Structure 1
Amino acid sequence: MRKILVTGGSRGIGYAIADAFIGDGADVTITGRDGDRLTAAGARLGARTVLADGTDTDAVEALAAHFHDGVDVIVNNAGGFTGAPPAAAAPLATHADHWTAGLRANLLSAVLTVTALDDVLRGGGSVISIGSIGAEYAANPYSTAKAALAAWNAGLSASLGARDITANVVAPGFIDGTDLFGGGMTAERRAALIERTHVKRVGQVADVAALVHFLASDRARHITGQTLHVNGGAHTTR
């Protein structure tokens, strides 16, 4: 039975990813920082749960101890916006704290998780990190961290490849069923984001989960070091 770790798996995209792997009969562990929500999600899914903040080294080391006998797939999903930007006139230290929080939540958490579990990652496995369309227009801590995540992934793929482990980034566009925007999206903004897509529809968490599930399968063993976009054409690559 494959062992799967999905960080930030108590809701939204992470929950849908965990559900896809559970559908295969995998042994899935999800993490989160809200104990009540994590416990409830684990019960609904039939997944193991570990309360953990991916930016806390002690918590990540404790998480790694749950996989002493190995892990096949790591999905770095935890992250998100870490607060509204400070006013331009705010003290420089305030800006530094704002940027540091975003980079820690969206980049360092993934790096620490994979580093802590590196020794127990099994051959034939995968590391899949959730990026963002925002990385293409990085001008805030979240988007900049996601751009750095893709750069890190390229090097990670090279270092893990000889062990038959793949590493990829899945970069969603606007996806329904998440709380990334904290309920602050206006109807006008939502309509504009949908209009940017070629298919003229909003993405669903199942769209992201399906690609993650594929990348962790035997059918995708020659796909590694890549950033794959799930955005309905809102951003295209050449």
Structure 2
Amino acid sequence: MGEQRRLAVVSGGGTGIGASVARGLVDDGFDVIVVGRRGDVLDSAARRICAEAGRDGAVTAVAADLTDPGQVGAVVDAVGERAVDAVVNNAGGYLGGSTDSLAGVADWWRANLGANVLTAVLLTEALLPALRRPGGRVVLLSSIAAQRGGAGPYSAAKAALHGWAYDLAAQLGPDQITVNVVSPGYVAETEFFGDRMTPEGHARRVAATLVGRAGVPDDIAAAVRYLVGPSAGYVTGQVLGVNGGSVLGR
């Protein structure tokens, strides 16, 4: 029997950036567990990636709401006795809400903190015992909004990931596990904006870059693939901006 493949868990893996990350990691020789709330979307992505890669069983879909501690166990069950080489926390998004009352504001903030922070915390904490030692990788997907604001509770939630990543990097460093953040700028070809994006909004965001184009999911996936790969073992506690230069390094 040949050597067992490396295993990655990718949340929000059914569409957009998450699906692109999963596809790239399969190309890099990983088996991948994709996690999300929509089982049908996950199943479709898993089938497509396996067909494109020509490797049956390379991707396993697990439907779970990662804001619910009771559902995170489904991911642990799917991992079984295997070591986890990489956890990629991509689940999240901007959730609108009401500001008509303090109760509405509280609900709005809780929803964004849950979707963008709690999902990452619960999944990572659940998989900590299974992370490969040495050599495990944790990647958190943040946003340019964490660095420049502009999206209220979403900006705050993504910024919270940065502080947590620094703590987690210090905690896991002695085990030779790295923890890093990828912070995308404007990325087209995703579900993030839904029907909110206009041609004017697209043009304005492209104009804010230094390279004169929108990002695509594969741009972000390339950064994740580097951070979970063997060449990035000396990179930890970092925020990697992938934004076309619309926010400069700081």
Work out the CA distance in 2 between the residues paired with 1:189 and 1:209: 24
- SS of the aligned residue for 2:132 comes to strand
What TM-score, normalized by structure 1, do the two folds share? Answer: 0.96
Q: Which amino acid aligns with 1:74?
A: V
Match of 1:26 in 2: 30
Specify which of 92, 95, 114 is matched with residue 104 of structure 1.
Answer: 114
Work out the CA distance in 2 between the residues paired with 1:98 and 1:160: 32
Match of 1:74 in 2: 87
RMSD, matched Cα: 1.0
Q: Which amino acid aligns with 1:20?
A: G
- SS of the aligned residue for 1:162 comes to helix
> Which 4+ runs in 1 deviate beyond 2 A?
none
Work out the CA distance in 2 between the residues paired with 1:27 and 1:57: 24
Percent identity (aligned):
44
Match of 1:191 in 2: 203
- Judge conservation of contact 1:68–1:120 (CA < 8 Å) in 2: no
Work out the CA distance in 1 between the residues paired with 2:182 and 2:234: 16
Q: Deviations over 1:164-222 (max 9, x none)?
A: 10000000000011111112111111101000000111111111000100001111110
Work out the CA distance in 2 between the residues paired with 1:99 and 1:61: 26
Matches within 5 A, 1:207-226: 207-226=219-238
Matches within 5 A, 1:82-231: 82=95, 84-87=96-99, 90-123=100-133, 124-138=135-149, 139-231=151-243
Matches within 5 A, 1:49-68: 49-68=61-80
Matches within 5 A, 1:1-16: 1-16=5-20
Q: Deviations over 1:3-27 (max 9, x none)?
A: 0000010000000000001112211
What TM-score, normalized by structure 2, do the two folds share? Answer: 0.92
- Judge conservation of contact 1:54–1:109 (CA < 8 Å) in 2: yes
Could you tell me which runs of 5 or more consecutive residues in structure 1 were left unpaired when the two chains were aligned.
Answer: none
Distance apart, 1:81 and its partner CA: 1.4
Could you tell me which runs of 5 or more consecutive residues in structure 2 were left unpaired when the two chains were aligned.
Answer: 51-58
- Judge conservation of contact 1:174–1:193 (CA < 8 Å) in 2: yes
Q: Deviations over 1:109-157 (max 9, x none)?
A: 1001111111110120100010000001335111111000011000000
Q: Deviations over 1:84-118 (max 9, x none)?
A: 2324xx12111101100000000011001111111
